[in-house]
A and B are shown apart, each in its own frame.
Chain A
């Protein structure tokens, strides 16, 4: 029965094909420029990439539930701004971080409410909140310059390390672990996949689709907020245009990682490797003196190839699965033929029973 090869099975897990591509990419860049995996550069490039990767995870969660969130980039920018704003006005460390994460969460909840309960197109809703968040950040930077604060412990979020591992990497690692556990092990995660696979069928099975949708957008907003906090910590100053265009990289990362845009499949790992791949690409191009402006083109091409590649992989898996079932049904043909007739006829006459 288990005729599919182990390799095919591994590769059918979302994120696995990209893991190999990521490894190959790292090896290639290392061969091109041995500085690539140098301890100093490495730490830097990982810390720089972490906010983007967190945003990617947020978008990935929404996509798994069958939606899309375009607002993540500018919400992260605004959250960074809000954190700095709190610090500039004398807030202690914990409050500043809470303000940043809270900003993201509020945006997520608003998006989720409009999408899930008022059933307004998620694309338009998040496009609008994208703009509102971007605008609010511009206003915020004009109210007060968002820099020059000295909150003990804040820069250390991204600039220190624990046993040689960057602190922010540890934070991100924990977040990814928690996200993966929620997705794979909890009631909420299960319902998210169910809604992503078929919101109709999930609804018939008693899953509260609006609630799940709301939670997915809230998670995405919260992750954007956290990304903003880390951005603020790393940059030390927040400019008016922070976060613009990040959604592009994040969606690309999720798609490249192997998260199907149709929803219902994917995992945190896929978002991680997808996002990391783009970050690696950016770093690699920079180290090899390729103008960073090429990055946006590379990302665009990566989106296209990511979707096409993913679809091809799926098609191959589907075909092998079909061959297997048809082989199976050949064995049982004698017993099942008469009965299955009505099944096939039914699928061809799906319209017979009017709705």
Chain B
């Protein structure tokens, strides 16, 4: 690991003994930070996809999505605990736990849609009521997990080490590489699903015109449920990966990251799937860069992200890849 990163002077170009770091070292810090930013961005992207898909299809800001990510991390933790003795706590065990968590949390997403959101959609309730319901779901998940875990931190026991590839001073661990590759695989799978399958086509059609879809014989409710399944499963994948990567999870881990992922979805253009992917990576990189700036630092990191969100909403609410749209009352 590079010295300059983990010592008491993370924001200046100095190493731990206070000497100015060599130019090469500065370059490698930059590369390291880009890697960190990409990983953070991968998590943001995976969560942002769920926000964006649900928003695109029913115009609901699914406030509980950050908590879905948190639940995903805990389900993955539980699955790894049960499977660990048989499959080991290496990559195989983690991959299986990830898939189990994605499936179960996907079902949870469908259940939430059925129980909490669909009755309101059927009643054509105002969008504010839907939003408040989402806040209620978020409260339920958040406090439910808090009660179940007694508010304690849970540590992911994995056998992943810090081995990796070193090029000069740059050190990238295999874990980091696998995280980014896994995210890329999930995104490609999603892209294929949305653009190449009949279900994906139905989703895109519903986002355009629900009533026309009903006339064409598409089961709108089921397709919306499927969207919740996919979005929640992706968030769960991010949750398990974050748990593995950072090592510990707790019940409030979903709140701030949920906000950030929403920011990412808006940056990319909400409702747009490539936009959510791009937005997540952009936000991850911006935030990592922001943390390195002397006047921001980690204490003001969240203010920096929310500041970006607010500026963006004011000046370019459609995001990078979004289409402009007029709110229908």
A and B associate: no
Q: Footprint of A on B, CB under 8 Å?
A: none
Q: Footprint of B on A, CB under 8 Å?
A: none
